[in-house]
Structure 1
C-alpha cells in the first residue's frame, strides 16, 4: 500500500487545506467553553475576522462575515461551514431551502457546454483560498477568546 507523506506539493492540497480548517475550528470549539461570552464582542479588534465579507454560499449556512457582526456570529458560521464540509453539501442545501430561487439558481453551474476542467480549477483555487482565510479566522477567534477570558496561551 502506498504511504502518503506531506511533501511540498501536498501541503497545499485541498484535502490538507480542509483538514487544517477543520482542525482550527475543532481547536476553536474546544477552547471556547462558553460561546455566549463572544456575544457583543465586536470584530473591530480582530481585523482578520472582518477581512472576508464573502458569502459562504455553496459551503456554509449562506451567512456573511459582516462588518458589524460579533465574534459569536463568526463562531457559529465557522462551525456551520465545518459541519457542511464534514457532512456534505446536500444536508447544507436542505438547511438553506428558505433561499430565494434566483439565489439557488446562481449557485448552480452554468451549462453542459462550458469547459468543465476550467470550471473545476477555478472553483478548486477559490475553495482553497476561502478555506485558508477561514482557517486563519478560526485561529484568530480562538486567540481573541483566550484574551477575553484572561488566558495567555
Structure 2
C-alpha cells in the first residue's frame, strides 16, 4: 500500500513534470524533420490557453504571429532553459538588484520599529516563503503540464500535415 502512495506522489512531482515536458519536446524534435513546414501553418482556430514569452526574445507571441513554427521554436527554447539554466543566467543580475532592494527595505523597517521584537517577523516571513513556494510550485507544475500538451499536440498536428497521423501511436 505504501508503494502505491509513493507512486502517485512521484507522478505529481515537479521533477517528473519537467521530465514529461522534456520528453514531449524531444519527441516533437525527433518527429519534426523539416521545421520550416510549420511556418504559416495556423494553430487550429483555438487560442492558446496561455501565452508564454519565448526566453530568447522576452516578448509574447501575439495571435498574428502564432503559427506552429513559433510554438515549435518556443517549446525548444523553454526545454533548453530547463536543461541548461538559461533563465537564471539572464536574470541573475536583476535578482541580485531586487534582493538588495528588499534587504534595504527590511533594514529600514527594522530601524523604524526601534528594536521591537523581530522574532514574530521572522516566523511570519518563513510562513510567507513557504506559501509563496507552494504557490509557485503549483503554478510551475500547471504551466509544464500545458506546455507538455502543447508539444504533444504540435507533434500530432505535424504528423497530420505531412500525412503520417497514424504512425507511431
Query: Which TM-score band applies after superposition, normalised by the shorter structure?
Result: 0.7 to 0.9
Show the counterpart of 1:9.
Answer: 9
- Three-state SS of the structure 2 residue aligned to 1:40 is coil
The gaps in structure 2 that reach 5 residues or longer are: 107-124
**CA drift at 1:66:** 3.1
Show the counterpart of 2:88.
Answer: 90
- Three-state SS of the structure 2 residue aligned to 1:33 is coil
Tell me the distance in 1 between the aligned counterparts of 2:159 and 2:70.
17
- Three-state SS of the structure 2 residue aligned to 1:151 is coil
Q: What is the aligned counterpart of 1:67 among 63, 67, 84?
A: 63
Tell me the distance in 2 between the aligned counterparts of 1:131 and 1:26.
14
Report how many residues are paired. 133
Describe the superposition over 1:9-38 as per-residue Cα deviations: whole angstroms up to 9, x where unpaired: 110100000000000000000000000000
> What is the 5 A alignment of 1:1-150?
7-43=7-43, 45=44, 47=46, 50-55=48-53, 60-61=55-56, 62-68=58-64, 69-88=66-85, 89-91=87-89, 93=90, 111=102, 114=125, 115-150=128-163
Tell me the distance in 2 between the aligned counterparts of 1:80 and 1:121.
25
The gaps in structure 1 that reach 5 residues or longer are: 98-103
**CA drift at 1:75:** 0.3
TM-score w.r.t. structure 1 length? 0.75
**CA drift at 1:122:** 1.1
TM-score w.r.t. structure 2 length? 0.69
* CA RMSD, 1 decimal: 2.6
